[in-house]
Amino acid sequence: MRRRLLIPCVALALAGVSSLPASAQPSGDTTVTFSVSTSNLTIEVPASRNLGSGFPGQTISGQLGTVTVNDGRAAASATWTASVVSTQFDTGIDDPAEIILPNLVQYWSGPATDTTGTGTFVPGQPTRSDRVTMDQPRTAFSKTSGSGNNTASWNPTLEITIPPDAVGGLYSGTVTHSVA
């Protein structure tokens, strides 16, 4: 008889142990993680621009339209340099009288028209007197300090000297902005 009572008592005792509350610690730590998303460093430029017309020996100029650098890298050191270079301008014919070389094309960035974020934004050529020829890559704009996401926009001016012996026609070339 004793054995019959002992088994139910032991079973009842074990069932009671599992329902007892757990003993709590005086404090507890939870490790929490998350990611800050980043994007890319990009540049947006106008697709095309017509600067009008001029006669041989004259200079034509005009603004290209807004150029914008978008820096979404969320970097601790968010610096970048935007460069610009030009091809020759021509009518599509390889005759020297129908080619305007890049050394006759001048560029100046002008000041920033808009910026966001922190840091120092530096125009490559703040004024017309700072203009540069486009026969080699030039700094158009840069960000020299700061952190986090940022943007900078400017509206550069292009000035083209038409050679005195240029032949009439529609001239086209490519101005390439890049950022790194």
Question: What's the rounded Cα separation, in Å, for the pair 106 and 127?
Answer: 12
Question: What's the rounded Cα separation, in Å, for the pair 141 and 130?
Answer: 13
**Model confidence over 117-130: pLDDT tens digits?**
999 999 999 999 99
27-42 b/e with 16+ CB inside 10 Å = b?
A: eeeeeeeeeeeeeebe
**Model confidence over 33-55: pLDDT tens digits?**
777 767 799 999 999 999 999 99
Q: Is the pLDDT of residue 56 over 70?
A: yes
Using alpha carbons, select from 128, 125, 135 the residue that is nearest to residue 159: 128
The residues that bridge with 86 in the sheet, in sequence order, are: 175
Please report the pLDDT score of residue 49 as a whole number: 96
66-91 b/e with 16+ CB inside 10 Å = b?
A: ebbbbbbbebeebebbbbbbbebbbb
